[in-house]
Chain A
């Protein structure tokens, strides 16, 4: 099996001089399947099969649980809003198909645009394809609202990959997190599509101030035909009224209005923990994210220091605001901040990005702690933004090189002093 695949790859290898672009493309897939046996020239290297590509794939693997749950949750939230199949395990096939129909186009557009730009530059600069986009491309669909128009998504991905990465020199050289840069682009350029109460549940329209379910298109009809053939429930025509009292509000916007009491009127703590609440696709289910995070820590791809210090920072700021206690949101007990919003997703997959985070161990403690503090500040004190982690992480990405610089300087000074003391002793 392995040998025949290798033979197949060698057979189809295009000529590098005649068609450089094809060869780059080939090289990308070949090194994906097999670790290359070329040794890197120049610099000091550790010999390990765990190359960049395989690191990236580990992160994508860790994200699969989020994908599975996120896809199902899109459908679940849609049907709950319409008052159908309100139990989590009712209408499984409909919810799953509904989620897939929503997320597959997002996934495909993200990868076509992002990888397209990456392939183009790899061929142009004449180096192999750097799979830096594999992780960003897996993260971006998870942090977007499910109903985001695809052209906005394409624009944001192009902006992030072009300005955020290729301008800086490609994979591993970007200063800001690519996935967050894509999201922040949508956030500031098309704010109505990614903030407010109307965007977090898929397939709900606002007609004359009242919410109503969207009409199901032809693709749902195809599945309806299959389902009715199997004797299962079908989507039907759509255009159904939503349940009474539906507002689409997320826990955070409720907390802003009236603190924790207001949140628990709509969502229970258990719901928020397990993630059966509206939100960005992949960030709702906390236990699954923590599982992924443990996997990343175990494989030593993400640094536990950043995660721990981020929790400490958020808890510290939460306690401080509890003591201050002026607005209802400030009075939300600090431990409930971990239930709402995307804290865990940001902690596990965004803050720990080894490229944009601080590189030194001491720097990582400072970096994570400050993200925690600033994230809570933005979430609670800033009226303009409902959630703080995206902006807090970008903010600290800017300062990560500075933190590293001073940590390294302090180290140099300490060692110089030690050397001087030794000299004096002799």
Chain B
């Protein structure tokens, strides 16, 4: 039940991109078509869900004082987290290049750039500051990734539809994407404040 709670909370109630505005660069840049947005969203779900438990293990068993080295190594946190994320992204990149070359070329630079997608590192740091358990960190990774996926796919669908709109020239492209993100944030505020834990029987 706790697993489901954390998942729902991370996906809808505390959506990484629409309530914390994390991972904006690729969110805005790769949301021009649903197909590529779908691919990037899947990649982000995968990377988040894999890196969070690995980072949890690292920070509990290597970096903390009760860990393997018996001293406080938390100053290494950022560099190790980034290293883990980067290696996972490499993995995803190789898989995507092998099985979907068209998606690989469509994503271009934004696939390796998942490494510095702040939603990924942000997820790991949230995990530390909220003191999640291992299973919860998996749920948080999956949920956060799913929320990010939903947001980017929805934005991409709106932007595809808006290709036929007569948007004022000054706002075309990124300007409109920013406004849309803000309006989507308003819509996502609808679920903010729900505490799933309060409704467990």
Contacts and interface: CB of A to CB of B under 8 A. Distances in A.
Interface of A: 163-164, 166-170, 173, 175-176, 181, 184, 188, 324, 326-327, 330, 374, 377-378, 381-385, 388, 391-392, 394-395, 397-399, 401-402, 404-405
Range for the number of chain B residues in contact with chain A: 20 to 34
Contacts of B171: 167
A399 B155 CA distance: 8
A109 B160 CA distance: 35
Nearest to A388: B190
Given A175-B158, A394-B186, A398-B158, A169 B201 contact: no
Contacts of A168: 162, 165, 167, 176
Give the interface SS of chain A, mostly helix, strand, loop or mixed: helix
Interface stretch (B49-57, B59-67, B91-99, B191-199): B191-199
Interface in B144-173: 153-154, 157-158, 160-162, 164-168, 171
B29 interface: no
Interface stretch (B75-83, B105-113, B114-122, B177-185): B177-185
B153 A326 contact: no
A402 B194 contact: no
A163 B179 contact: yes
Contacts of B189: 188, 391
A402 B190 contact: no
A394 B190 contact: yes
A163 B186 CA distance: 13
Given A169-B168, A173-B162, A326-B201, A385 B190 contact: yes
B179 A167 contact: yes
Given A163-B179, A395-B188, A169 B193 contact: no
5 contacts: A167-B168, A175-B161, A397-B187, A398-B154, A398-B184
Contacts, number: 99
Contacts of A391: 187, 189-190
Contacts of A176: 183, 187
Contacts of A377: 191, 194
A173 B157 contact: no
B167 A374 contact: no
B184 A384 contact: no
B179 A401 contact: no
A276 B78 CA distance: 61
A326 B189 CA distance: 24
A377 B192 CA distance: 12
A169 B186 contact: no
Contacts of A404: 157, 161
Given A167-B179, A382-B190, A391-B187, 12 more contacts: A166-B168, A167-B167, A168-B167, A173-B164, A188-B186, A381-B194, A384-B193, A395-B188, A398-B187, A399-B154, A402-B154, A402-B157
Contacts of B179: 163, 167
Contacts of A385: 190, 193
A402 B187 contact: no
Contacts of B154: 398-399, 401-402
Interface in B131-145: none
A27 B15 CA distance: 47
Nearest to B179: A167
A394 B187 contact: yes
Contacts of B191: 374, 377-378, 382, 395
Contacts of A395: 187-188, 190-191
Contact of B165 (A173, A330, A398, A405): A173
A169 B166 contact: yes
B34 interface: yes
B153 A402 contact: yes
Contacts of B188: 395, 398
B190 A401 contact: no
A321 B176 CA distance: 39
A405 B155 CA distance: 12
Contacts of B180: 175
Nearest to B164: A173
A386 to B, nearest CB: 12
A327 B165 CA distance: 46
Contacts of B161: 175, 401, 404
A404 B119 CA distance: 28
Contacts of B194: 377-378, 381-383
A202 B193 CA distance: 29
Nearest to B193: A384
Nearest to B183: A176
A383 B168 contact: no
A164 B171 CA distance: 13
A328 to B, nearest CB: 12
Given A167-B171, A326-B201, A382-B193, A402 B34 contact: yes
